[in-house]
Amino acid sequence: MAQILIDVTEAQLQALAEAARVQNKPLAVIVRDAIAAYVFESSPSDGGSEVFGLWAESAMSGREYQAAHRAEW
């Protein structure tokens, strides 16, 4: 695992320390989790890459699917 040196404000450090205390986790784990969440949320490919193209294998088009389900009403 790589190590980095970061500068945080005193308020940020206190907030991270409080989160570590409440969650009963080391400060390093809290920081790693925060970085992982930031990277996940900032990634443009996340969110759609797992589902993109799922409809391509469908036997009917989207319009046919919609019409069939609307006919049920």
Q: Which pTM does this prediction carry? A: 0.57
- Number of helices (H) and strands (E), helices first, in the chain? 3, 0
Q: pLDDT for 27-66, tens place per residue?
A: 999 999 999 999 988 877 655 666 667 777 778 888 888 8
Looking at residue 54, its pLDDT comes to: 72
**Three-state SS at 5:** coil
Looking at residue 71, its pLDDT comes to: 85
CA angle, 17 then 22 then 25, to 5°: 70
Confidence of residue 7 (pLDDT cuts 50, 70, 90): very high
| Pairwise CA distance, residues 42 & 26, whole Å | 25
Looking at residue 40, its pLDDT comes to: 86
16 class by beta-carbon count within 10 Å (0-12 exposed, 13-18 middle, 19+ buried): middle
